[in-house]
Amino acid sequence: MIIAANLKTNLTRKQTTEYLNTLDSLIDASNSTQEVLVFPATSSLNPHAGKVIVGAQNAYPATNGAFTGEIGSEHLAEFGITTILIGHSERRHVLGESQEELVTKFNFYKDLGFKIVYCVGEPLSLREEGEEAMMKYIDAQYEGIDLNYKNLIIAYEPVWAIGTGLTPTSKDIEDLHSKLKEKCSAPLLYGGSVKVANAKEVLGLKSVDGILVGGAALNVEDFNTMINFAQEIE
């Protein structure tokens, strides 16, 4: 399975290095064979030589250039980064990235062969409008994305479940994931308030190929416990 941690705007470079080294030791000790991805804050990136794959939370679709405040692919290359998160709800809804911008970013990093974790998910208002409106919204997030890209991973993250402690029921996750699996055969992660207390149940669902964890991954032991759950289930 794929177990991913989005560290968001947390942990300094020193703390991130400690986090990654601890996580690698824990993974070595448990002989885990799960695919583990960690997305640190941009300024905390560093070359990392362990089992954990370090990815970027964001980058601009350019090698370099006049894009103040952004980093380009050559800055990722400096740290050996070949994995990127695209379409996270905080980038869509807090930072205002449009589908068009996300597609440009997706295509740029696809052309470089990056592993791309592409996030989709609906706000609460759309879920409340009913299934048709919700699926229409999610379908639009697939527009322009090459669903046959070999290094694609999709993460379904309902916006209302991110950082709120709320999660859909297991049946809701299973139903939605089954629909998303019909659209695309890439591995499909669930994200949104996953923690030690619910990770086993989520990972045990048939249509879940892994999890993307935010807040609860900041505790490295807890994140490792979730990796161990995946190992037990697989």
* Other beta carbons less than 10 A from residue 133's beta carbon: 14
Interhelix angle 196-203/170-183, nearest 10 degrees:
50
Residue 120 binding ligand PEP, by CB under 6 A: no
Examine the residue annotation and report whether 157 is marked as an active-site residue of this protein. Answer: yes
* Other beta carbons less than 10 A from residue 109's beta carbon: 23
Q: Which strands form 188-191's sheet, in the order they lie side by side?
A: 53-54, 35-39, 2-6, 210-213, 188-191, 152-156, 115-120, 83-86
Residue selected from 40, 61, 121, 191 as contacting ligand PEP according to rule CB under 6 A:
191
64 sits in the region (left: phi over 0; alpha: psi -120 to 50; else beta) called beta
- Which residue number, 61 or 214, has a Cβ lying nearer to ligand PEP? 214
* Span of 15-23, 41-49, 91-99, 186-194 interacting with ligand PEP by CB under 6 A: 186-194
- What are the helix (H) ranges across 95-219? 99-111, 124-129, 131-142, 170-183, 196-203
- Which residue number, 193 or 228, has a Cβ lying nearer to ligand PEP? 193
- Which residue number, 62 or 201, has a Cβ lying nearer to ligand PEP? 201
Residue 6 binding ligand PEP, by CB under 6 A: yes
- Which residue number, 73 or 193, has a Cβ lying nearer to ligand PEP? 193
Three-state DSSP state, 120: strand
Residue selected from 19, 37, 214, 227 as contacting ligand PEP according to rule CB under 6 A:
214
Residue selected from 162, 184, 202, 208 as contacting ligand PEP according to rule CB under 6 A:
162
Residue 55 binding ligand PEP, by CB under 6 A: no
- Which residue number, 65 or 96, has a Cβ lying nearer to ligand PEP? 96
**C-beta separation of 2 from 35 below 8 A:** yes
**Among the options 48, 88, 90, 177, which is catalytic?**
88
Residue 82 binding ligand PEP, by CB under 6 A: no
**Among the options 35, 90, 97, 157, which is catalytic?**
157
144 sits in the region (left: phi over 0; alpha: psi -120 to 50; else beta) called left
Residue selected from 117, 120, 154, 213 as contacting ligand PEP according to rule CB under 6 A:
213
Examine the residue annotation and report whether 128 is marked as an active-site residue of this protein. Answer: no
Residue 87 binding ligand PEP, by CB under 6 A: no
**C-beta separation of 227 from 36 below 8 A:** yes
- CA-based nearest residue to 127, from 157, 99, 85, 86: 157
Catalytic residues: 88, 157
Site of interaction with ligand PEP (CB under 6 A)? 6, 157, 162-163, 191-194, 212-216
